[in-house]
Every structure is written in C-alpha cells, then in structure tokens.
Amino acid sequence: MLSKRIIACLDVDAGRVVKGVSFRDLRDAGDPVELAQRHSAAGADEIVLLDISATRRGRRTALEVVRRAGRELFIPFTVGGGIASLAQAAAVIEAGADKVAVNSAALENPHLIEAIATRFGSQAVVVAVDAKRRRDGSSWDVWSASGSRPTGRDVLAWVREAKERGAGEILLTSMDRDGTKAGFDCELTARVSVAVRIPVIASGGAGGAEHFACVFREGRADAALAASVFHYGLGSIRRLKHLLLEQGIPVRLPC
C-alpha cells in the first residue's frame, strides 16, 4: 500500500492565514510562509495555500506569497484561489508552486482543466470540490466561490468529469464538517474515491488522530488535509504519523 499523505492547509486572506467554522467567522492564524515552514519541519508531506477570498473578490492569487513559499519550502505545495485562466495558472507555477488548485473557474469553464493539464501535466492539476450534503441526505451538491454559491451540480458527476478532463487529484472538502473537528465525512470521501481512479484528498473536520485513521480506512482517501488542528497546537504532525503507523496505516516519518 502506498504511503498516505498528511497535508497542512493554509487558508489565506489578504496575506494572512485565517481559520473559521464552515467557511465563516474567520480569525487570524499567522503568516502563511512561517506557518508553512513550521508544518514542513513537523513532518507535513505537502502544503496547500488557498487564497479563500480571491475568487469572491474578483482578484488574482497573491503571487508574492507564492514566491516567498517557493523560496523557503522543500516539500511540494499547491496554490489555489482566483486562478481563472491558463495564464494565471502558469504565473503561479512559475512563481514556485508545484500544483495549482482550481475550483469555481473550472466549474464555469471545465476546459480550463484540460488546458492546464495539457501545458503542465495532470500531476499539476488539483480540482478542489466544496461539497454540501443535500437536505434529503441522498447525495452532495457542489458549491463554488469559497462555498458561498450553490451550483446545483452533483458531486460524483462533477468529479468524474474533472478526472476525464485531466485532473490529477481531487481536493474534496466537506462544508458540513469544515472547522468543526467532528471528523472527516468518510462516507462522502469513500463515494468520491470509488468514483474516480485518481488520488482523493479529504478535507474538512479533522480533530484528532482517529479521524485521520478513519478517513484513510473507511473513506479510502489517499491523503488527508487539515488546518486548525495544526495551527492552534491541537496536534503534532509528527505524533499523528506515529499514531497512524501504530494502527498499521503507512505514512512517511519526518527526518
């Protein structure tokens, strides 16, 4: 079995890392590059930088933050938020990012996935999906604009299309669990993992080691992403990895 990845996410707003509950009530958590370095030293396999207000405010991702991260980080990092064209994706990768995450722009123009994959390869394209369970509990809908706008699209149909268009990974966030520390939505993650044959990154709800173990086993996730559980000292990535190894889940230990 391939090693499972632990990914630290930094939600960036106006150049600062922020965190809230269900995408609301945001509070300052620090400088993105300093936090990224800290997570890297603690054993994070990858870093994701998401400019959560770029799309909503109609601006581009802050490239200076990307350049700073590119100079300081020695693990893969993904950048998302406000990337609406091939030119913008190219600017982010040229600034130092290993991958780009597209969400709202890909929903509006699915050909963007194909364009980035053709230019940089599928391994550089992460399609971020913000999912919210329907009121009747039958499935999940895709939301856009940092989880503020319903699209009416079914999650499973969209991830299949994204994969066919060239997505190399799916970054799947449960809006219902985001920031709650109640655990990942393992049912949602498992359904998406079965639907596509590309890596699925689970996001939303991490609160303890047992939640990571659950999403790797029951959710079939290839990677798990968290933010506040790491930002506020509620858990150590190094300790988390040792606990996962004790449960038979393969991970790469930090040096």
Per the listing, tokens 């200076």 go with 64
Which residue, among 105, 127, 118, has the nearest Cα to 55 in the 3D structure?
Answer: 105
Of 11, 13, 178, 222, catalytic: 11
C-alpha 233/C-alpha 209 separation (Å) is: 14
C-alpha 16/C-alpha 82 separation (Å) is: 16
The reply to whether 11 belongs to the active site is: yes
Which residue, among 54, 51, 49, has the nearest Cα to 35 in the 3D structure?
Answer: 49
- Using a 10 angstrom Cβ sphere, with 0-12 exposed, 13-18 middle and 19 or more buried, the burial of residue 100 is buried
Which residue, among 201, 215, 84, has the nearest Cα to 144 in the 3D structure?
Answer: 84
Of 98, 130, 141, 178, catalytic: 130
The reply to whether 31 belongs to the active site is: no
Structure tokens at 68: 């700073």
Per the listing, tokens 């991970």 go with 251
Active site residue ranges: 11, 130
